[in-house]
Amino acid sequence: LNTAFFALDLPTGAVGSTVSVVVGFPPKLVYIWTIGRTGSADSVGAGNAKISYGAFTGPTERGCSATMMRHNYAGQVGHSTVRTDCAVAIVNENFALEGRADVQSINSDGFTLVIDQQVNATYRCFGVALGGDIEAQVGSLTTAAAIGTEEITGLRFDPTFAHLLSAGSFVTSFNGL
């Protein structure tokens, strides 16, 4: 199993701009998230939280959940969205989509993201890439409304591990640990 942790700046470049991340191997599964901080340095401070958590195995298999929570606001307002057309999404204070980045390619030593919708500030992103002898799949599912057992079918392999994210409807599973 190959693993690499990374940090990157989601740029304010125009639609079509790219950012490449080198992890030293071709990743088979990447988790990527923002904690809502803007700027190109790690920092601490109070402010609205624009959080995104995504996973992808390639340009056609990805998903993310994005949340915006207002800081120090009497109504404690927040908003979430789930996307299957990008790996990173940013939701703004008006609960509109502020920006998106998608997977352009998996490379021999990492991956490349492409800006699909321009963001108005540089967002600090973090992640972990997994590669080597694993199988991975990212997809979405709809859970039953009733309490009870649920069977999930349609995977390409028999997983030994599953990561389910309930903030939206995407599931990540992989085999080979």
CA separation, residue 58 to residues 17, 26, 96, 106 (Å): 18, 11, 26, 6
Angle in degrees, CA 69, 91, 8, rounded to 5:
100
**Angle of CA points 15, 20, 22, to nearest 5°:** 165
At 142 the pLDDT is 67
Phi-psi region of 100 (alpha: psi -120 to 50; beta: other; left: phi over 0): beta
DSSP 8-class letter at 26: -
51 near 167, Cβ under 8 Å?
Answer: no
**Residues of the chain above pLDDT 70, percent:** 77
Q: What's phi and psi for 42, nearest 5 deg? A: -70, 130
pLDDT tens-place string over residues 62-99: 988 888 776 666 665 667 778 889 999 988 877 788 89
* pLDDT per position as a tens digit, 18-59: 999 999 999 999 999 987 766 655 566 666 678 888 999 999
pLDDT tier for residue 130 given thresholds of 50, 70 and 90: very high
| Whether pTM exceeds 0.85 | no
